[in-house]
Amino acid sequence: MAVRPEHFFTSTPFIRRTLIPALLLFAISIPLMMDQWSLGRALLVTGLSTTAVLYAGALAWPNRLRWAGRVVAGLVFLFYAIYAIDQWFFSKAPVTLVEPRSNASPRNALLGLLIIGLPALVYALRGRTTTPDSDVAGPSQGNDALR
């Protein structure tokens, strides 16, 4: 079974109890770790903290804050788009076809935008990545956050 973006907003109680405190701790601690502030760093910290709080809210109350998951997906696309623009137009890294996946490079930024960013954008705009008639979840599968 393929992992689609909508799977990141359905969770088990164990995942919620584990991930929500970690997300909130991240959102609180990341601004405290900044030693020097600039406009770019302030925007980065604000974006990361906002994303973490919204994701925690989407996991805690999936029915009430369904829009928060879509905003998080939109922010994921935005972060990948900014990364790709930075790597392609402002980085001095050469464009190579074969390289380690861990390197920050124009090729890896483009792959990240295509593989992660575009499906996140589709989910942010439509609320799902498939058509309603192609749903693969059977009656035993579904949103276990409601149980």
Tens digits of residue pLDDT in 122-145:
999 988 766 666 655 544 444 444
- Maximum alpha-carbon separation in the chain: 52
Q: Is residue 46 situated within a structural domain?
A: yes
User: For the whole model, what pTM was predicted?
Assistant: 0.76
Assess contact for 96 and 68: CB atoms under 8 A: no
The total domain count for the chain is: 1
Residue 8 has pLDDT above 70, yes or no: no
Range of the domain at 76: 5-130
CA distance 45 to 1: 35
Residue 65: strand, helix, or coil: coil
Q: Is residue 40 situated within a structural domain?
A: yes
Report the share of the chain in percent with pLDDT over 70: 80
Q: Is residue 10 situated within a structural domain?
A: yes
What pLDDT is stored for residue 9 in this prediction?
64
Q: How many CB atoms lie within 10 A of CB 71?
A: 17
Q: Is residue 75 situated within a structural domain?
A: yes
